Amino acid sequence: MTNVLEDPAPLQLNYVPDEFQGRENEASELKTAFAGSEEAPLPNLHVHGPRGTGKTQVVNSVFSNLPKRVSKAYVPCDKYDTQYKALKQICKAFSQDVDDGHHTSELQRKIGEQVEVMKTVVILDEIDFLLLNDGDDLLYFLSRLENSDNISVVTISSNTKNLESLIEERTYSSLQPRRIGFEPYNGEELYQILAERAKKALASKSLQREALTYIASSTSNLGRSLTWLRYAAKTAETTITEELVREVEASAYQEYVNQLLDDFTEHHYLVYEAVYETSGEGEDSVRTGKIYEKYQELCRSTEKEALSDRRISDYIKQLELLGVVQADYYYGGKKGKTREVNLG
């Protein structure tokens, strides 16, 4: 703890606030979808919006207040990115014992049985990662369950407004999700939300108004701005000034990226570092070949065995989904399609 930071928890990303200012409409849209009679079929939903707009927490808080007769499974698909891993998580949420060695079809059968006897909500957060890695078999299976009126599939994405573009037509047509968009907060809302969290975390009078205004006007991603504020608070001696906030902007952003990468492998981190270092070499964007060379170099210097360029190309796509790198695709060149990557 420092003089300024009295309690880091309210500035941490997994901290759940008592209320979600500015998300009343989205929360009530979610609730209305489940407000029908007990016999009404449960709808499927697709929740989308930029990073740090409250999707994960608002969806979870609405669904944890559902009536007891509805069971709920939450699966972060960046971590559980195959049908098998996700099915296992869903079974676990229904407190069915699943040791290793169960076959996919067996897990599917268990879930089918569960849905037969109980209304069920399955939340698939960061759905893009699973689709990228394993296709849409899981969604197809869930959408085609015999008692599909009894199950609601809720997908969440920071990248894809319309699921239709990512999944097969037969899956989409049986899923037919209702879309719920989370718009970025405006400057005023960001300021209020951050001020509220700061009040709980910081010593009184330790935060200058201009410092908070600067953060709120620089990014609408609350994950990034909360991390930024926490970082500044850790650095400050007595007061968080605008000057300090500007000074730590780049390091605080790196801290935010590190938190995102925490759930991934060390090779993801090395790839990110490779993009970071190569893009520092004068050009804005670099070809993937060059990134791969840099990555190999980093592996050698840390005595790790490099993964194939195929795998690394997938990792770059995952970094893209996280929003920490951007890629542009060009046609032409030796390999047909080439990719240029830069920092997000």
Ligand X SMILES: Nc1ncnc2c1ncn2[C@@H]1O[C@H](COP(=O)(O)OP(=O)(O)OP(=O)(O)O)[C@@H](O)[C@H]1O
What character string, x for contact with ligand X (CB under 6 A) and - otherwise, covers 222-251?
xx--x-------------------------
By Cβ distance, which residue is nearest to Mg ion?
56
Per-residue interface string for the shown chain with ligand X, residues 203-222, x marking contact by CB under 6 A: -------------------x
Q: Which of 44, 45, 48, 55 binds ligand X (CB under 6 A)?
A: 55
Residue of 193, 198, 240, 319 that binds ligand X (CB under 6 A): 193
Indicate which of Mg ion, ligand X, none lies near residue 319 (CB less than 5 to 8 Å, by partner kind): none
| Interface segment toward ligand X; rule CB under 6 A; list 48-56, 242-250, 293-301, 310-318 | 48-56
Smaller CB distance to Mg ion: residue 8 or 50? 50
Q: Which among 214, 180, 212 is positioned nearest to 63, based on CA atoms?
A: 180
Q: Measured at CB, which residue is nearest to ligand X?
A: 54
Site map 82..111 versus ligand X, x via CB under 6 A: ------------------------------
DSSP bridge pairs for 122:
73, 153
Measured CA to CA in angstroms, residue 141 lies from 89, 104, 112, 167 at distances of 15, 11, 10, 13
Query: Does 160 help bind ligand X (rule: CB under 6 A)?
Result: no
> Residue written as tokens 């997000």?
344
CB of 95 to ligand X, least distance (A): 25
Q: Select from 108, 155, 158, 278 the one that contacts ligand X (CB under 6 A).
A: 158
- Rounded to whole angstroms, how far apart are CA atoms 265 and 190? 32
Residue closer to Mg ion, measured from CB, 125 or 136: 125
Residue type, 237: E
CB 130 within 8 A of CB 86: yes
Give the residues across from 342 on adjacent strands: 326
| Residue ranges in contact with Mg ion by CB under 5 A | 56
Which tokens is 233 given?
A: 């608070």
Q: How many residues bind ligand X (CB under 6 A)?
A: 20
Task: Give the C-alpha separation, 207 to 109, whole Å.
Answer: 55
Residue nearer to ligand X on the CB measure, 110 or 177: 177
Residues 8-47 that bind ligand X (CB under 6 A): 13, 15-17, 20-23
DSSP label at 18?
Answer: S
Q: What are phi and psi of 131, to 5 degrees?
A: -65, -40
Three-state DSSP string of 232-270:
HHHHCCCCECHHHHHHCHHHHHHHHHHHHHCCCCHHHHH
What single-letter DSSP state applies at residue 177? P
Minimum distance from residue 290 beta carbon to ligand X (Å): 29
Taking the C-alpha atoms of residue 47 and residue 30, their distance in angstroms, rounded to an integer, is 9
Residues that bind ligand X (CB under 6 A): 13, 15-17, 20-23, 51-57, 158, 193, 222-223, 226
